Structure 1
């Protein structure tokens, strides 16, 4: 249960950062691009957060073996 919570929090954190960056970049172009950039940035951020949390868990499991 704790591992699932850690993955969810990581995904949410990176999704928020990705949305902010995407919206900022899109906002430099137009208002519609800001909305699209925010959505795409959130999606990319969530994927990065998922992969990062999974990699950290794997590294922790390997450390426990040795």
Structure 2
């Protein structure tokens, strides 16, 4: 449960940061562009958070597994 809450909060944080950046860039052009930029930025931020979480999980699993050599012990002979 703690892992799930942590993942949700990370996604919300990245979405908020993305929305802020998108709105700031869009506000240079117009009010409508700021709104659109905020929405697109939030979607990009949430996607980045999901991708980062997936990559982190993959790396953790890779480091936990025992990496065996490609040969079946031929190096010992």
TM-score range, shorter chain: 0.7 to 0.9
Match of 1:10 in 2: 10
Does residue 60 (structure 1) correspond to residue 60 (structure 2)? The answer is: yes
Q: Normalization by structure 2: what TM-score?
A: 0.76
Structure 2: unaligned runs, 5 residues or longer: 67-77
Indicate the structure (1 or 2) with the bigger Cα radius of gyration.
2
Q: Distance in 2 between matches of 1:22 and 1:58?
A: 29
Matches within 5 A, 1:25-64: 25-64=25-64
Secondary structure (helix, strand or coil) at the match of 1:29 reads coil
For residue 61 of structure 1, report the CA deviation from its aligned partner: 1.1
Q: Normalization by structure 1: what TM-score?
A: 0.87
